[in-house]
Amino acid sequence: MNVITQAFAGHLGDLELASMSIANTVIVGFNFGLLLGMASALETLCGQAFGAKKYNMLGIYMQRSWIILLVCAVLLLPTYVFATPFLKLLGHPTELAEQSGLVALWMIPLHFSFAFQFPLHRFLQSQLKTGIIAWVCLVALAVHVFISWLFVYQLQFGLIGAAVTLNFSWWLIVFGLFGYTVCGGCPLSWTGFSTQAFSGLWEFLKLSAASGVMLCLENWYYRILILITGDLKNAEIAVDALSICQSINGWEMMIPLAFLAATGVRVANELGAGNGKGAKFATIVSVWTSVVIGVIFCSLIMVFRDKFALIFTSSPVVLDAVNSLAVLLAVTILFNSVQPVLSGVAIGSGWQAFVAYINIGSYYIIGVPLGVLLGMISNFGVLGLWAGMIGGTAVQTLILAVITLRTDWEKEAQKASSRLAEFSS
Protein backbone atom coordinates (compact mmCIF):
# COMPACT_ATOMS: atom_id res chain seq x y z
CA MET A 1 0.00 0.00 0.00
CA ASN A 2 2.87 2.38 0.75
CA VAL A 3 4.41 1.68 -2.65
CA ILE A 4 1.09 2.39 -4.39
CA THR A 5 0.71 5.67 -2.49
CA GLN A 6 4.23 6.69 -3.48
CA ALA A 7 3.51 5.81 -7.11
CA PHE A 8 0.41 8.04 -7.14
CA ALA A 9 2.43 10.85 -5.54
CA GLY A 10 5.23 10.41 -8.08
CA HIS A 11 2.91 10.97 -11.01
CA LEU A 12 1.78 14.27 -9.48
CA GLY A 13 5.33 15.66 -9.81
CA ASP A 14 8.94 15.40 -8.63
CA LEU A 15 8.38 17.59 -5.56
CA GLU A 16 5.30 15.57 -4.54
CA LEU A 17 7.24 12.31 -4.88
CA ALA A 18 10.12 13.68 -2.78
CA SER A 19 7.71 15.04 -0.13
CA MET A 20 5.82 11.77 0.18
CA SER A 21 9.13 9.89 0.28
CA ILE A 22 10.51 12.02 3.11
CA ALA A 23 7.28 11.90 5.15
CA ASN A 24 6.69 8.20 4.59
CA THR A 25 10.25 6.97 4.75
CA VAL A 26 11.74 9.22 7.43
CA ILE A 27 8.94 10.50 9.72
CA VAL A 28 6.48 7.60 9.51
CA GLY A 29 9.33 5.13 9.02
CA PHE A 30 11.05 6.24 12.24
CA ASN A 31 7.92 5.48 14.27
CA PHE A 32 7.03 2.40 12.23
CA GLY A 33 10.40 0.83 13.03
CA LEU A 34 10.18 1.49 16.76
CA LEU A 35 6.58 0.30 17.22
CA LEU A 36 7.09 -2.71 14.96
CA GLY A 37 10.17 -3.64 16.93
CA MET A 38 8.40 -3.32 20.28
CA ALA A 39 5.55 -5.51 19.02
CA SER A 40 8.06 -8.21 18.10
CA ALA A 41 8.30 -9.08 21.80
CA LEU A 42 5.01 -10.88 21.12
CA GLU A 43 6.73 -13.09 18.55
CA THR A 44 8.96 -14.40 21.32
CA LEU A 45 6.36 -14.68 24.08
CA CYS A 46 3.27 -15.70 22.08
CA GLY A 47 5.29 -18.07 19.91
CA GLN A 48 6.87 -19.85 22.87
CA ALA A 49 3.57 -19.89 24.81
CA PHE A 50 1.80 -21.44 21.82
CA GLY A 51 4.50 -24.10 21.53
CA ALA A 52 4.15 -24.83 25.27
CA LYS A 53 0.32 -25.01 24.88
CA LYS A 54 -0.26 -22.11 27.29
CA TYR A 55 -2.93 -20.70 24.99
CA ASN A 56 -4.69 -18.52 27.56
CA MET A 57 -1.62 -16.29 27.91
CA LEU A 58 -1.54 -15.22 24.25
CA GLY A 59 -4.47 -12.81 24.58
CA ILE A 60 -3.05 -11.38 27.80
CA TYR A 61 0.31 -10.77 26.14
CA MET A 62 -1.37 -8.98 23.21
CA GLN A 63 -3.33 -6.68 25.53
CA ARG A 64 -0.13 -5.80 27.40
CA SER A 65 1.47 -4.96 24.09
CA TRP A 66 -1.48 -2.71 23.11
CA ILE A 67 -1.10 -0.75 26.35
CA ILE A 68 2.64 -0.26 25.97
CA LEU A 69 2.53 0.59 22.25
CA LEU A 70 -0.36 3.04 22.65
CA VAL A 71 1.51 4.97 25.36
CA CYS A 72 4.62 4.93 23.20
CA ALA A 73 2.63 6.19 20.18
CA VAL A 74 1.39 9.18 22.19
CA LEU A 75 4.94 10.01 23.31
CA LEU A 76 6.15 9.91 19.68
CA LEU A 77 3.59 12.45 18.40
CA PRO A 78 6.09 15.38 18.41
CA THR A 79 7.98 13.71 15.55
CA TYR A 80 4.94 14.43 13.35
CA VAL A 81 4.02 17.82 14.80
CA PHE A 82 7.54 19.25 14.46
CA ALA A 83 8.55 17.42 11.27
CA THR A 84 9.01 20.61 9.22
CA PRO A 85 11.46 22.40 11.58
CA PHE A 86 13.28 19.10 12.13
CA LEU A 87 13.80 18.61 8.39
CA LYS A 88 14.89 22.24 7.95
CA LEU A 89 17.38 21.78 10.77
CA LEU A 90 18.84 18.83 8.91
CA GLY A 91 19.38 21.03 5.86
CA HIS A 92 16.49 20.00 3.61
CA PRO A 93 15.23 22.66 1.15
CA THR A 94 12.47 24.84 2.62
CA GLU A 95 9.74 23.88 0.14
CA LEU A 96 10.50 20.16 0.47
CA ALA A 97 10.61 20.33 4.28
CA GLU A 98 7.32 22.23 4.54
CA GLN A 99 5.41 19.94 2.21
CA SER A 100 6.86 16.82 3.86
CA GLY A 101 5.84 18.18 7.27
CA LEU A 102 2.29 18.81 6.05
CA VAL A 103 2.02 15.24 4.74
CA ALA A 104 3.38 13.93 8.05
CA LEU A 105 0.61 15.73 10.00
CA TRP A 106 -2.03 14.05 7.85
CA MET A 107 -0.46 10.66 8.64
CA ILE A 108 -1.01 10.81 12.42
CA PRO A 109 -4.02 8.43 12.22
CA LEU A 110 -1.76 5.96 10.40
CA HIS A 111 0.71 6.27 13.28
CA PHE A 112 -1.86 5.15 15.86
CA SER A 113 -2.96 2.20 13.73
CA PHE A 114 0.53 0.72 14.23
CA ALA A 115 -0.05 0.38 17.99
CA PHE A 116 -2.99 -1.96 17.39
CA GLN A 117 -2.14 -3.68 14.13
CA PHE A 118 1.37 -4.90 14.95
CA PRO A 119 0.34 -6.79 18.12
CA LEU A 120 -2.63 -8.30 16.25
CA HIS A 121 -0.26 -9.51 13.51
CA ARG A 122 2.12 -11.13 15.98
CA PHE A 123 -0.72 -12.65 18.01
CA LEU A 124 -2.18 -14.35 14.92
CA GLN A 125 1.17 -15.29 13.38
CA SER A 126 2.28 -17.07 16.53
CA GLN A 127 -0.76 -19.36 16.17
CA LEU A 128 0.03 -19.98 12.47
CA LYS A 129 -3.11 -18.07 11.46
CA THR A 130 -1.34 -16.31 8.60
CA GLY A 131 -4.13 -17.00 6.10
CA ILE A 132 -6.54 -14.53 7.69
CA ILE A 133 -3.81 -11.85 7.75
CA ALA A 134 -3.20 -12.38 4.04
CA TRP A 135 -6.89 -12.16 3.13
CA VAL A 136 -7.55 -9.05 5.23
CA CYS A 137 -4.49 -7.33 3.73
CA LEU A 138 -5.56 -8.34 0.22
CA VAL A 139 -8.99 -6.75 0.71
CA ALA A 140 -7.36 -3.62 2.16
CA LEU A 141 -4.97 -3.46 -0.82
CA ALA A 142 -7.83 -3.66 -3.33
CA VAL A 143 -9.73 -0.95 -1.48
CA HIS A 144 -6.57 1.17 -1.27
CA VAL A 145 -5.98 1.09 -5.03
CA PHE A 146 -9.56 2.19 -5.70
CA ILE A 147 -9.73 5.02 -3.15
CA SER A 148 -6.24 6.25 -4.14
CA TRP A 149 -7.42 6.59 -7.74
CA LEU A 150 -10.66 8.22 -6.54
CA PHE A 151 -9.08 10.74 -4.16
CA VAL A 152 -5.99 11.66 -6.18
CA TYR A 153 -7.23 11.64 -9.78
CA GLN A 154 -11.02 11.95 -9.70
CA LEU A 155 -11.59 14.19 -6.68
CA GLN A 156 -8.30 16.07 -7.24
CA PHE A 157 -7.24 15.96 -3.56
CA GLY A 158 -3.61 15.61 -4.63
CA LEU A 159 -0.87 14.74 -2.16
CA ILE A 160 -3.09 15.11 0.92
CA GLY A 161 -5.62 12.76 -0.67
CA ALA A 162 -2.88 10.15 -1.09
CA ALA A 163 -1.99 10.44 2.62
CA VAL A 164 -5.65 10.16 3.70
CA THR A 165 -6.17 6.97 1.71
CA LEU A 166 -3.17 5.38 3.43
CA ASN A 167 -4.68 6.16 6.85
CA PHE A 168 -8.00 4.60 5.89
CA SER A 169 -6.49 1.43 4.43
CA TRP A 170 -4.24 0.71 7.42
CA TRP A 171 -7.14 1.12 9.84
CA LEU A 172 -9.21 -1.20 7.66
CA ILE A 173 -6.63 -3.91 8.37
CA VAL A 174 -6.83 -3.21 12.12
CA PHE A 175 -10.62 -3.60 12.23
CA GLY A 176 -10.50 -6.69 10.01
CA LEU A 177 -7.97 -8.53 12.19
CA PHE A 178 -9.62 -7.42 15.44
CA GLY A 179 -13.04 -8.50 14.20
CA TYR A 180 -11.70 -11.95 13.32
CA THR A 181 -10.03 -12.29 16.72
CA VAL A 182 -12.97 -11.30 18.92
CA CYS A 183 -15.70 -12.95 16.82
CA GLY A 184 -14.57 -16.52 17.41
CA GLY A 185 -11.49 -16.84 15.25
CA CYS A 186 -9.23 -17.56 18.26
CA PRO A 187 -11.41 -19.35 20.86
CA LEU A 188 -8.47 -20.73 22.88
CA SER A 189 -6.24 -17.67 22.93
CA TRP A 190 -8.81 -14.83 23.11
CA THR A 191 -11.14 -15.00 26.10
CA GLY A 192 -11.94 -11.29 26.29
CA PHE A 193 -10.37 -8.24 27.88
CA SER A 194 -8.73 -8.88 31.23
CA THR A 195 -7.31 -6.79 34.07
CA GLN A 196 -4.42 -9.26 34.10
CA ALA A 197 -3.09 -7.30 31.12
CA PHE A 198 -2.09 -4.51 33.53
CA SER A 199 0.09 -6.82 35.65
CA GLY A 200 3.71 -7.57 34.78
CA LEU A 201 3.93 -4.52 32.53
CA TRP A 202 7.45 -3.60 33.65
CA GLU A 203 8.98 -6.93 32.60
CA PHE A 204 6.99 -6.83 29.39
CA LEU A 205 8.17 -3.27 28.75
CA LYS A 206 11.82 -4.28 29.12
CA LEU A 207 11.49 -7.06 26.53
CA SER A 208 9.45 -4.77 24.24
CA ALA A 209 12.07 -2.03 24.56
CA ALA A 210 14.89 -4.45 23.71
CA SER A 211 12.90 -5.72 20.74
CA GLY A 212 12.16 -2.15 19.67
CA VAL A 213 15.80 -1.09 19.81
CA MET A 214 16.90 -4.18 17.90
CA LEU A 215 14.47 -3.85 15.00
CA CYS A 216 14.23 -0.07 14.80
CA LEU A 217 18.01 0.16 14.45
CA GLU A 218 17.63 -2.09 11.41
CA ASN A 219 14.55 -0.29 10.11
CA TRP A 220 16.03 3.20 10.54
CA TYR A 221 19.34 2.31 8.94
CA TYR A 222 18.42 2.74 5.28
CA ARG A 223 15.90 5.47 6.14
CA ILE A 224 18.85 7.48 7.43
CA LEU A 225 20.24 7.14 3.91
CA ILE A 226 17.22 9.08 2.55
CA LEU A 227 17.70 11.68 5.27
CA ILE A 228 21.39 12.25 4.54
CA THR A 229 20.73 12.36 0.79
CA GLY A 230 18.66 15.51 1.35
CA ASP A 231 21.90 17.38 2.05
CA LEU A 232 23.50 16.50 -1.31
CA LYS A 233 23.52 18.71 -4.39
CA ASN A 234 20.36 18.35 -6.50
CA ALA A 235 18.68 16.92 -3.41
CA GLU A 236 15.24 16.60 -5.00
CA ILE A 237 16.47 14.34 -7.82
CA ALA A 238 18.75 12.37 -5.48
CA VAL A 239 15.92 11.78 -3.00
CA ASP A 240 13.54 10.80 -5.81
CA ALA A 241 15.97 8.26 -7.28
CA LEU A 242 16.95 6.79 -3.94
CA SER A 243 13.36 6.64 -2.69
CA ILE A 244 12.33 4.71 -5.82
CA CYS A 245 15.13 2.20 -5.21
CA GLN A 246 14.19 1.95 -1.55
CA SER A 247 10.53 1.44 -2.50
CA ILE A 248 11.48 -1.45 -4.78
CA ASN A 249 13.76 -2.76 -2.04
CA GLY A 250 10.95 -2.40 0.48
CA TRP A 251 8.54 -4.18 -1.85
CA GLU A 252 10.90 -7.13 -2.34
CA MET A 253 11.81 -6.93 1.36
CA MET A 254 8.33 -8.21 2.19
CA ILE A 255 9.55 -11.68 1.18
CA PRO A 256 12.54 -11.88 3.58
CA LEU A 257 10.40 -10.12 6.22
CA ALA A 258 7.85 -12.89 5.75
CA PHE A 259 10.67 -15.35 6.37
CA LEU A 260 11.65 -13.29 9.42
CA ALA A 261 8.13 -13.66 10.81
CA ALA A 262 7.83 -17.33 9.88
CA THR A 263 11.27 -18.16 11.26
CA GLY A 264 10.65 -16.25 14.47
CA VAL A 265 7.33 -18.02 15.04
CA ARG A 266 8.63 -21.45 14.07
CA VAL A 267 11.76 -21.18 16.21
CA ALA A 268 9.70 -19.83 19.14
CA ASN A 269 7.11 -22.62 18.77
CA GLU A 270 9.81 -25.32 18.76
CA LEU A 271 11.72 -23.82 21.68
CA GLY A 272 8.49 -23.44 23.68
CA ALA A 273 7.76 -27.11 23.03
CA GLY A 274 11.29 -28.00 24.20
CA ASN A 275 12.43 -29.12 20.74
CA GLY A 276 15.84 -27.55 20.11
CA LYS A 277 16.55 -29.69 17.03
CA GLY A 278 13.31 -28.51 15.41
CA ALA A 279 14.35 -24.89 15.93
CA LYS A 280 17.73 -25.55 14.30
CA PHE A 281 16.13 -27.28 11.31
CA ALA A 282 13.65 -24.41 10.82
CA THR A 283 16.57 -21.97 10.78
CA ILE A 284 18.49 -23.88 8.10
CA VAL A 285 15.48 -24.27 5.80
CA SER A 286 14.48 -20.60 6.13
CA VAL A 287 17.94 -19.20 5.41
CA TRP A 288 18.56 -21.25 2.27
CA THR A 289 15.08 -20.74 0.85
CA SER A 290 15.29 -16.99 1.35
CA VAL A 291 18.76 -16.85 -0.25
CA VAL A 292 17.53 -18.60 -3.41
CA ILE A 293 14.64 -16.13 -3.72
CA GLY A 294 17.03 -13.23 -3.11
CA VAL A 295 19.31 -14.36 -5.95
CA ILE A 296 16.31 -14.48 -8.31
CA PHE A 297 15.21 -10.92 -7.47
CA CYS A 298 18.77 -9.64 -7.58
CA SER A 299 19.00 -10.96 -11.15
CA LEU A 300 15.66 -9.38 -12.12
CA ILE A 301 16.83 -5.97 -10.92
CA MET A 302 19.93 -6.19 -13.12
CA VAL A 303 17.93 -7.28 -16.16
CA PHE A 304 15.31 -4.50 -15.81
CA ARG A 305 17.58 -1.85 -14.29
CA ASP A 306 16.57 0.80 -16.83
CA LYS A 307 12.82 0.10 -16.71
CA PHE A 308 11.50 -0.55 -13.17
CA ALA A 309 11.54 3.17 -12.22
CA LEU A 310 8.76 3.81 -14.79
CA ILE A 311 6.31 2.59 -12.14
CA PHE A 312 7.00 5.78 -10.18
CA THR A 313 8.07 8.50 -12.60
CA SER A 314 8.46 9.52 -16.23
CA SER A 315 11.19 12.10 -15.53
CA PRO A 316 14.27 11.27 -17.69
CA VAL A 317 16.65 12.74 -15.11
CA VAL A 318 15.24 10.59 -12.30
CA LEU A 319 15.18 7.49 -14.55
CA ASP A 320 18.90 7.92 -15.32
CA ALA A 321 19.69 8.41 -11.63
CA VAL A 322 17.82 5.22 -10.70
CA ASN A 323 19.64 3.28 -13.42
CA SER A 324 23.00 4.31 -11.90
CA LEU A 325 21.90 2.95 -8.49
CA ALA A 326 20.59 -0.41 -9.74
CA VAL A 327 23.76 -2.39 -8.91
CA LEU A 328 23.68 -1.24 -5.29
CA LEU A 329 19.97 -2.09 -5.11
CA ALA A 330 20.73 -5.61 -6.35
CA VAL A 331 23.50 -6.08 -3.76
CA THR A 332 21.23 -4.79 -0.99
CA ILE A 333 18.48 -7.24 -1.98
CA LEU A 334 21.01 -10.09 -1.87
CA PHE A 335 22.18 -9.21 1.67
CA ASN A 336 18.61 -8.67 2.81
CA SER A 337 17.72 -12.20 1.80
CA VAL A 338 19.87 -13.46 4.71
CA GLN A 339 19.91 -10.77 7.39
CA PRO A 340 16.14 -10.64 8.22
CA VAL A 341 15.95 -14.41 8.55
CA LEU A 342 18.76 -14.37 11.09
CA SER A 343 16.94 -11.55 12.91
CA GLY A 344 13.88 -13.82 12.98
CA VAL A 345 15.98 -16.51 14.67
CA ALA A 346 17.05 -13.93 17.26
CA ILE A 347 13.43 -12.88 17.93
CA GLY A 348 12.19 -16.45 18.25
CA SER A 349 15.01 -17.19 20.68
CA GLY A 350 14.66 -14.01 22.75
CA TRP A 351 18.09 -12.55 21.89
CA GLN A 352 16.79 -9.04 21.18
CA ALA A 353 18.88 -7.14 23.73
CA PHE A 354 22.11 -8.85 22.62
CA VAL A 355 21.45 -8.26 18.91
CA ALA A 356 20.67 -4.59 19.59
CA TYR A 357 24.33 -4.09 20.57
CA ILE A 358 25.45 -5.85 17.37
CA ASN A 359 23.23 -3.54 15.32
CA ILE A 360 24.60 -0.41 16.99
CA GLY A 361 28.17 -1.45 16.20
CA SER A 362 27.57 -2.72 12.67
CA TYR A 363 25.19 -0.05 11.46
CA TYR A 364 26.03 3.12 13.34
CA ILE A 365 29.70 2.74 14.26
CA ILE A 366 30.74 1.17 10.93
CA GLY A 367 28.02 1.62 8.27
CA VAL A 368 26.84 5.24 8.67
CA PRO A 369 30.33 6.77 9.15
CA LEU A 370 31.63 4.77 6.18
CA GLY A 371 28.70 5.97 4.07
CA VAL A 372 29.30 9.61 5.06
CA LEU A 373 33.01 9.21 4.33
CA LEU A 374 32.43 7.81 0.84
CA GLY A 375 29.39 9.87 -0.07
CA MET A 376 30.01 13.34 1.35
CA ILE A 377 33.70 13.61 2.21
CA SER A 378 35.02 11.65 -0.80
CA ASN A 379 32.32 13.20 -3.03
CA PHE A 380 30.91 9.94 -4.44
CA GLY A 381 27.42 11.25 -3.68
CA VAL A 382 24.51 8.90 -3.17
CA LEU A 383 26.51 5.98 -4.62
CA GLY A 384 29.12 6.36 -1.89
CA LEU A 385 26.53 6.79 0.86
CA TRP A 386 24.71 3.63 -0.10
CA ALA A 387 27.88 1.57 -0.73
CA GLY A 388 29.25 2.45 2.69
CA MET A 389 26.03 1.51 4.42
CA ILE A 390 25.96 -1.84 2.63
CA GLY A 391 29.27 -2.49 4.40
CA GLY A 392 27.51 -2.16 7.76
CA THR A 393 24.85 -4.64 6.65
CA ALA A 394 27.56 -7.10 5.59
CA VAL A 395 29.25 -6.91 9.01
CA GLN A 396 25.97 -7.40 10.89
CA THR A 397 24.97 -10.37 8.71
CA LEU A 398 28.33 -12.07 9.23
CA ILE A 399 28.18 -11.68 13.03
CA LEU A 400 24.62 -13.03 13.24
CA ALA A 401 25.56 -15.98 11.01
CA VAL A 402 28.47 -16.93 13.29
CA ILE A 403 26.31 -16.66 16.43
CA THR A 404 23.55 -18.78 14.90
CA LEU A 405 25.99 -21.48 13.77
CA ARG A 406 27.46 -21.73 17.30
CA THR A 407 24.11 -21.84 19.15
CA ASP A 408 23.34 -24.68 21.58
CA TRP A 409 19.66 -25.18 20.70
CA GLU A 410 18.82 -27.53 23.56
CA LYS A 411 20.06 -24.91 26.00
CA GLU A 412 17.88 -22.31 24.24
CA ALA A 413 14.85 -24.57 24.76
CA GLN A 414 15.56 -24.60 28.52
CA LYS A 415 15.81 -20.79 28.52
CA ALA A 416 12.43 -20.57 26.79
CA SER A 417 10.80 -22.61 29.54
CA SER A 418 12.23 -20.32 32.20
CA ARG A 419 11.11 -17.20 30.30
CA LEU A 420 7.51 -18.41 30.05
CA ALA A 421 7.42 -19.11 33.77
CA GLU A 422 8.60 -15.55 34.46
CA PHE A 423 6.09 -13.83 32.14
CA SER A 424 3.12 -15.99 33.13
CA SER A 425 3.17 -14.79 36.73
* Mean pLDDT of the region 284-288: 92
pLDDT value of residue 19: 77
pLDDT value of residue 350: 85
In tens, the pLDDT along 227-265 reads 676 666 666 677 777 778 877 887 888 888 888 888 988
pLDDT value of residue 232: 63
At residue 120's C-alpha, the angle toward residues 147 and 217, to 5°, is: 90
The structure's pTM equals 0.77
* Mean pLDDT of the region 41-47: 85
* Whole-number Å distance between alpha carbons of 353 and 219: 16
* Mean pLDDT of the region 18-32: 77
Kindly list the domain boundaries of the chain, sorted by start residue.
2-423
Contact 2, 148 (CB under 8 A): no
Of 50, 157, 161, 169, the closest CA to residue 117 belongs to 169
pLDDT value of residue 226: 65
Amino acid at 72: C
Amino acid at 277: K
